Structure 1
């Protein structure tokens, strides 16, 4: 299975907001990019905006039935 492509975005935020984001990412042992994705998915979920899950290729990961 082919992994989904990603896209790049560029945003400007205040240094204090970036520091908070970095602190949260470190606390949860995530990259900043992954932390942003988690936060966006959480917010969209609370606001009723559906984000379809994208399939991710996982080598050797078979589900048993």
Structure 2
């Protein structure tokens, strides 16, 4: 997976991940799952992988 991000976002992600002693990918995953939990968004345990 890849996506474009501003230089400010990249700097914030780097700082936040270092502060939490996590990798950037792990921090993003943690934040997205927490967001889904707070918003009552049900995430399947193992979603089907779409083939293109």
Q: Structure 1-normalised TM-score?
A: 0.63
Query: Mapping of 1:1-65 within 5 angstroms?
Result: 9-53=1-45
Higher relative contact order (CA 8 A, sep 6+): 1
Shift of 1:34: 0.3
Query: Match of 2:8, SS?
Result: helix
5+ residue gaps in structure 2? 47-52
Q: How many residues align?
A: 46
* Unmatched tracts of structure 1, length 5 or more: 1-8, 55-65
Bigger radius of gyration: 1
Tell me which stretches of 4 or more aligned residues in structure 1 moved more than 6 Å. none
